[in-house]
Amino acid sequence: MSAMTTVEQTVYIPAGMGASVSVSEGTLIRLTDLYGQQPIDFWAFCQEDPWEFLSPEHTRPSIMKLYPGVGDSAFTNFRRPIVTLVEDNSPGQHDMQFAACDRARYIELGASLPHANCQDNLHLELQKLNLDVRGVIQPWNLFTNFFINPDGTFSIKAPSTQPGDNCTLRVDINCYIIISACPQDMNDTCGGNPTDVQMEIGR
């Protein structure tokens, strides 16, 4: 049985694009990798004060893991749980180590500009929401297989997700959710082929 019994809204996000939604405490968010091997960059900003937001670097010491598993929360920069992973029908690779892709990253990798990127998607959605939050805010990289090797190096591996793999988050603080279907096509982050994703809001 899945955690979400009622779907109230379905948002379809084409490859490389972003989306945002306003959600209240107790809402469930189901994120689906429709075609497999597709990461979703995920941000959450508190409605009361958007300068309080989901913070991977604050989450890691709170849960003593590199990224949350089922039953674990993601925490804000004020160390309050903002969302909790309640169901995971995926291999569970939800990286919390790395910044979103941005223009500079694509230049670094030799791409020709302009190139869609997750940071521009974030800032576009912040603008749409009329949120005056600037700066570089690290996402939670759902379905992202950045593998940490025992010697401290890491490998950018293609995600192990299959078409339709999904995870469900419970909202713990009224917040704005912003996601980006990562357009990374210069390495294995998206298995070399960025694809569409889906976000469902429900109960």
**Which positions lie near Zn ion, rule CB under 5 A?**
101, 118, 182, 184
Residue 103 DSSP SS3: helix
DSSP result, 33-92: ESSSS--EEEEEEESS-TTSBB-HHHHHHHHTSSS--TTPEEEBTTS-EEEEEEEEES--
Closer CB to Zn ion, 46 or 179, in the complex: 179
Q: What's the min distance (Å) between Cβ of 41 and Zn ion?
A: 6
- Residue 168 β-bridge partners: 30, 87
Q: What's the min distance (Å) between Cβ of 99 and Zn ion?
A: 9
Closer CB to Zn ion, 75 or 146, in the complex: 146
SS3 content of the chain, % helix, strand, coil (to 5): 15, 35, 50
Closer CB to Zn ion, 173 or 182, in the complex: 182
Q: What's the min distance (Å) between Cβ of 42 and Zn ion?
A: 11
Closer CB to Zn ion, 4 or 182, in the complex: 182
- What is the total residue count of the chain? 203
Q: What's the min distance (Å) between Cβ of 136 and Zn ion?
A: 13
Q: What's the min distance (Å) between Cβ of 201 and Zn ion?
A: 22
Residue 167 — φ and ψ, nearest 5°? -140, 155
> Please, which residues have CB within 8 angstroms of residue 152's CB and are 6 or more apart in sequence?
none
Closer CB to Zn ion, 63 or 156, in the complex: 156
